[in-house]
A = this chain, B = another copy of it.
Amino acid sequence: MISNNSIELSWSRKASEEAAAVLSLSCSGHGKANLDGLISDDGTPVCECNACYSGPDCSQFIADCVLGAEGGNPYFLEPFWRQNAENSAVTVPGWHRMGHEYDDGSLISKQLEKIIRNLHIVVGNAVTDGKYIVFGVGSTQLLNAAVHALSADDSSSTPTKVVAAAPYYPFKFDGDTTPWINNSSPSMNFIEIVTTPSNPDGQLTKAVIHGTNVKHIHDLAYYWPQYTAIPSALDEDLMIFTLSKVTGHAGSRFGWAIIKDKVIYERIVNYVEQTTYGVSRETQLRTLKLLNVVLEGNGRRLFEFGNDTMSFRWEILSTIFSASKRFSLQDRNAEICTFSKDARAPTPAYAWIRCENEEDEDCRTVLIGEANIIGRTGYDFGSKRRYVRLSLVSSQDDFDLLRLHLEGLLFLERRTNLISKGGDEI
């Protein structure tokens, strides 16, 4: 039917050449040109520089630059995709999937659903057998959809409370679980969002409130071998994942929910239909391609790459902070991992730093003032301002700068300590 050997690269060749041309710009290794990026007056693509680099080819380092470490852009996986450039590129023809629905009338690519089920089998982080899968525009949409779906049963006069154990990732919450642990009255309905590993601190957690009036949403964004041991395949009623944290493609806005109950599944499908009429076809196509690369061979290469990168970063971070009395990092206790088949400490996406000195009440401000690093305050996570969250999942450039700034900060601490002890030792 198709002669694979002598395919005429007619229409698709131009797209491929354009992509290769734009992306062949090296930008000194500190930036990149983008296919949809700015174009200079002479028609050549413009380098978009990494933080703290500038100039037409991003070669100029801005020494006194302030580093933003408050986000969670997962650029640490970008080198993996560059290494796998050939298999991960996808050429989308102009007439690809123009209709609203797939041929079966659904909004979901069956090929992609199949590969997501395979992925969970290979990684062993979630049980999908006998469960439904629905796609959403990122886990953001699915969290909203899940809350909506689980609240719909609520016929009581008081609205369902949405809670999570602090520190938690900010959502439209009604607060921390703590007041309700021993106290929840059966007349109140609860939805507890269980994020495990936790964002911000990377700890493996479990639901803390229970009962017939409590429903759970498991946000498993970080339950992948890059960030944590996988002690077992979770088998919860409603589990949400996002492409963002597994392959690093945050901009694609792709998430999926694994759902046990048919009624809840149908409500979530309906919510996604009514709010966005499904997920972009380009995104589903590209996600299929990316996850195919993840599953190539024994399905371990991406996770090993990610885990190696994160482990290396945590080693550096631990060394920097080991001497400090002023700042402490979260604990990281080893667990048995069924994926790597050994005991391993978590390598969380974020450093969760505590300012230990009495006077350093606002740790974020301390880091801005003394280290030129902008983190995210613990207050945002239902915790104290004494904590600050720093991203460890950004690009190598960003991490190198973070390291530089933190080493400077800790050097100052050592010097201050020495001065207060006598000073002439410096």
Which residues of A are at the interface with B, using a C-beta cutoff of 8 A? 1-2, 4, 7-21, 23-25, 34-39, 44, 48, 71-75, 77-78, 81-82, 84-101, 103, 109-112, 137-138, 140-141, 144, 244, 248-254, 274-286, 288-290, 293
Contact = CB atoms under 8 A, between A and B. Distances in A.
A203 B16 CA distance: 43
B95 A15 contact: no
Contacts of A87: 14, 94
B90 A75 contact: no
Nearest to A255: B276
Q: Top 5 A-B pairs ranked by shortest CB distance?
A: A88-B94, A11-B85, A81-B94, A16-B16, A251-B281
B44 A21 contact: no
Given A89-B15, A275-B144, A9 B1 contact: no
B84 A94 contact: yes
A137 B109 CA distance: 18
23 contacts: A1-B25, A7-B20, A7-B24, A9-B17, A10-B20, A15-B86, A35-B92, A36-B97, A74-B98, A75-B98, A78-B98, A89-B94, A90-B91, A91-B91, A92-B286, A98-B249, A99-B250, A137-B276, A137-B280, A138-B276, A251-B280, A253-B281, A280-B283
A111 B34 CA distance: 11
B36 A251 contact: no
For the complex formed by this chain, how many copies does it contain in all?
Answer: 2
Contacts of A278: 253
Given A20-B9, A283-B282, A89 B86 contact: no
A111 B279 CA distance: 23
A273 to B, nearest CB: 9
Contacts of A14: 86-87, 89
Contacts of A35: 90, 92-93, 96, 285
A92 B94 contact: no
A24 B11 contact: no
Contacts of A281: 251-253
Contacts of A77: 98
Residue from the set A21, A48, A75, A100 with the largest chain B CB neighbour count within 10 Å: A100
A110 B44 CA distance: 17
Nearest to A99: B73
A17 B90 CA distance: 10
Given A77-B98, A100-B71, A7 B36 contact: no
A87 B17 CA distance: 12
Given A10-B20, A85-B94, A252-B280, 9 more contacts: A2-B24, A9-B13, A11-B89, A12-B20, A14-B87, A36-B97, A88-B95, A251-B280, A282-B283
A16 B276 contact: no
A276 B16 CA distance: 30
Contact of A11 (B86, B94, B101, B274): B86
A112 B290 CA distance: 25
Nearest to A94: B88
Residue from the set A13, A39, A85, A253 with the largest chain B CB neighbour count within 10 Å: A253
A275 B17 CA distance: 36
A1 B44 contact: yes
Contacts of A34: 96-97
